[in-house]
């Protein structure tokens, strides 16, 4: 399996364009999967520069209903005319940062014919499954990070029921993709116990203190290789790296082979 970061907040190559967002291109033995699409069309520009043919994608997944992961959805639908786009049925709910900044998706795309809303567990193919984990017990509640959902009764803390996870099982390994891990990276790691976990931890606003050290040491107890990016924060990554032996950073333009 080959995973290429088409878009992430950082880059190690000058020709790669970046923004606050995430987009991963996953090549398995049978499938070409696009996991998230950033907030603009930059993921597609980087794909072209990297020689990645987005028209070859046969499965697309939107991890959750935030603009920095689904803002490029319309671009993808124009480039690729065949791949279904899987997402939570809650993805198009009105998501906000606080009570002023809308951070949700383009609602005009909600009824697009190629959008497929997932169930709690949705099997796409042998060894390719999407999970919501909405019924799972959380042992480590990290809060809502100030993110909200607008309802008829006003703003309420986001419970992130719109977030889904992609698990690929191939060649004896379990590889989990988690866009931002809003439900809590500590719980997500426990729920799946994957061999490899790729995605953001949503730690970028956390201070570099004993609490973050404790989180890092907890994650280090798993026999998991972590490839993080995006909302983890580069300073937080470097800080956690001191306590984690299997933590790596995946920047725009980089590829890993599993």
% residues pLDDT > 70 (the chain) = 100
Mean pLDDT of 86-104: 98
Query: Does residue 147 register a pLDDT over 90?
Result: yes
> Rounded to whole angstroms, how far apart are CA atoms 12 and 6?
12
pLDDT tens sequence across 1-53? 999 999 999 999 999 999 999 999 999 999 999 999 999 999 999 999 999 99
pLDDT at 109 over 90: yes
Per-residue pLDDT reduced to its tens digit, 179-202: 999 999 999 999 999 999 999 999
Task: Identify whether the C-beta of residue 114 lies closer than 8 Å to the C-beta of residue 156.
Answer: no
For the beta carbon of residue 184, count every other beta carbon within 10 angstroms.
Answer: 20
Whether residue 175 is predicted with pLDDT greater than 90 in this model: the reply is yes
**Domain boundaries, given as residue ranges, for the chain:** 2-257
pLDDT at 250: 99
C-alpha closest to that of 93 among 36, 150, 153: 150
pLDDT of residue 141 exceeding 90, the answer is no
Q: Where are the beta strands (DSSP E) in the chain?
A: 2-7, 23-27, 32-35, 59-61, 85-87, 95-97, 101-102, 115-117, 121-125, 128-131, 147-151, 154-157, 165-170, 173-178, 196-199, 225-228, 247-249, 255-257
pLDDT over 90 at 159, yes or no: yes
Phi, psi of 206 (to 5 degrees): -80, 140
CATH superfamily of 2-257: Ribonuclease Z/Hydroxyacylglutathione hydrolase-like (3.60.15.10)
**What is the pLDDT, as a whole number, of residue 214?**
97
Average pLDDT in the 97-114 region?
Answer: 97
**pLDDT the model gives residue 189:** 98
Between helix 210-220 and helix 185-192 the angle, nearest 10°, is: 10
Check residue 234 and give its pLDDT: 98
Residues 6+ apart with CB under 8 A from 130: 61, 86, 118, 121, 122, 124, 164, 165, 166, 167
Average pLDDT score over the chain: 98
Task: Tell me the average pLDDT across 165-170.
Answer: 99
d(Cα 145, Cα 122) in Å, to the nearest integer?
A: 28
Are 33 and 4 a contacting pair, CB within 8 Å?
no
């Amino acid at each position: 399996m080959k995973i290429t970061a088409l878009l992430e907040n950082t880059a190690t190559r000058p020709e790669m364009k970046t923004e606050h967002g995430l987009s991963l291109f996953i090549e398995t033995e049978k499938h070409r999967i696009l996991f998230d699409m950033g907030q603009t069309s930059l993921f597609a520009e980087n794909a072209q520069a990297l020689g990645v043919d987005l028209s070859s994608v046969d499965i697309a997944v939107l991890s959750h209903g935030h603009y920095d992961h689904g803002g490029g959805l319309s671009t993808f639908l124009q480039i690729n005319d065949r791949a279904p786009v899987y997402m939570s049925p809650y993805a198009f709910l009105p998501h906000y940062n606080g009570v002023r900044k809308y951070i949700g998706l383009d609602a005009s795309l909600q009824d697009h014919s190629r959008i497929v809303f997932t169930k709690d567990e949705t099997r796409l193919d042998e060894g390719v499954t999407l999970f919501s984990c909405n019924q799972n017990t959380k042992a480590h509640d990290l809060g809502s990070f100030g993110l909200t959902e607008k309802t008829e009764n006003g703003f309420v803390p986001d419970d992130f029921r719109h977030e889904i996870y992609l698990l690929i099982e191939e060649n004896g390994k379990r590889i989990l993709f988690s866009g931002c891990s809003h439900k809590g990276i500590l719980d997500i790691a426990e729920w799946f116990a994957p061999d490899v976990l790729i995605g953001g931890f949503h730690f970028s606003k956390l201070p570099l203190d004993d609490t973050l050290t404790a989180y890092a040491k907890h994650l280090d107890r798993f026999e998991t290789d972590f490839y993080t990016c995006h909302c983890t924060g580069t300073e937080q990554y470097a800080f956690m790296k001191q306590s984690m032996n299997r933590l790596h950073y995946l920047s725009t333009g980089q590829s890993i082979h599993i």
